[in-house]
Amino acid sequence: MLTALKVRLYPNKEQQTALIQNFGCCRFVGNYYLNKSNTQYQETGKGLSYCDMAKDLTQLKKQEEFLWLKDASSSALQQSLKNLEAAFKNFFEHRAKFPKFKSRHKKQSLRYPAGCSIKGNGIQLPKLGIVKAVISKKISGKIKSVTVSKDSTDKYFAAILLEVEDVPVNKEGKISGIDLGLNSLVTVFDGETTYKVDPIKPTRKYAKRLRRRQKSLSRKKLGSSNRKKQVKRVAKVHQKIANTRQDFLHKLSHQLVSENQTVVVENLCVKGLARTKLAKSVLDAGFGTLVNFLGYKLKRVGGILVELDRFFPSTKLCHCCKYKNDSLTLKDREWVCPVCQTHHDRDENAARNLREEGIKILSTNTVGHTEFQACGEQVRLVSNPAKKRCSKKQESHRKALA
């Protein structure tokens, strides 16, 4: 099993200079061969493969005008070519957009696929020596790679990819349905009790500080040193907002994972919600990040995450008599079922329906994961286009046996 740990780095001045040079070399190699591949494709109709780029890179470093590429780690330069090849592959398989040229004014990163180790209170990196680091926990396992990055506030981080042994954990706990919302970030129903957790809204919390610093930035002269300093001050506020949100979601997901064996959530279309009037609140809540945290943390301890289709009417469906209230609007926080006269809290009713539907799916699924067999194929419980989910028309069993 692969796991990752992100730590803070504190390089000295010499190491900072070397890292900046390495960032520049890897960025240049990626941009150079992206341009060369595009040019060759326009001329011959065929781009460059990784082997072609790697052979050409060896000859490129021998030229006098590119001798400075030898200052960087050769494995890091080779990794930048692999990243470019992966970007092209994702594009041709319709998983991502066409690769773009990297800029020196955005986040910088490079990956060391080999030659890294933990030495005391630091990390041994190729051609850099031991870089001081703050490692929060003991690292056990084989180091597969280390990705060093520098953010807009000039802070250095290292993401350590580790290969650890799979530890089978027979996790026992409850099955909970979780409804995501804006008034209450999560509404949890575990079969007995219901509780809500309100969002912290970090963007609105630091809006005044951000507005004040952005106003000061707009008055600075373009290209001046004072403007560069003010850009970092604005970036620190954005970083504070992101760190506050991430810390809250980590704590919330840890609490939900420790209390439950199975978590049932709905797969929301965050991109679609971000195009509405509630875009600021939706993005500030971090629905996608929370579901991502729940997924990998449950997998780590042997739990199960079930994602229901976003078109499942969890809010409009009465959990008592299954009556569907199509007249329900977003403003209606409470409603009364016209059939059984049950008074419903909107979020609590949705959490109950999600839990019940998740239990039905798990009882149908003999494997115990978020996929089950239907007509001999795997059907994912996520909101993919209908054409990709639907099976082709099959012959009946009688015709097949005839």
- Beta-carbon neighbour count of residue 34 at 10 Å? 21
The pair of structure tokens assigned to 223 is 């290209």
The helix/strand/coil state of 145 is strand
- Residue found by looking up tokens 């990819």 in the block: 161
Distance CA 401, CA 228 (A): 75
Distance CA 228, CA 239 (A): 17
Alpha-helical (H) ranges within 183-286 are 202-205, 207-218, 225-259, 270-273, 279-285
Among 85, 190, 284, 347, the active-site one is: 347
Residue 96 DSSP one-character state: S
Distance CA 286, CA 297 (A): 17
235 phi and psi angles, rounded to 5 deg: -65, -30
Are 265 and 287 in contact by the 8 Å Cβ rule? The answer is no
Give Cα 28 distance to the centre of its chain. Answer: 27
266 is catalytic: yes
Contacts 24+ apart (CB under 8 A), 227-231: 231/152
Distance CA 325, CA 334 (A): 12
Are 26 and 76 in contact by the 8 Å Cβ rule? The answer is yes
Query: In which order are the strands placed within the sheet that holds 174-180?
Result: 194-197, 186-189, 174-180, 260-266, 304-308
Transcribe 3-42 into DSSP letters: EEEEEEEE--HHHHHHHHHHHHHHHHHHHHHHHHHHHHHH
Residue 134 DSSP one-character state: E
377 phi and psi angles, rounded to 5 deg: -130, 165
Among 190, 266, 348, 357, the active-site one is: 266
179 is catalytic: yes
Among 179, 284, 356, 357, the active-site one is: 179
**Which residue numbers are catalytic?**
179, 266, 347
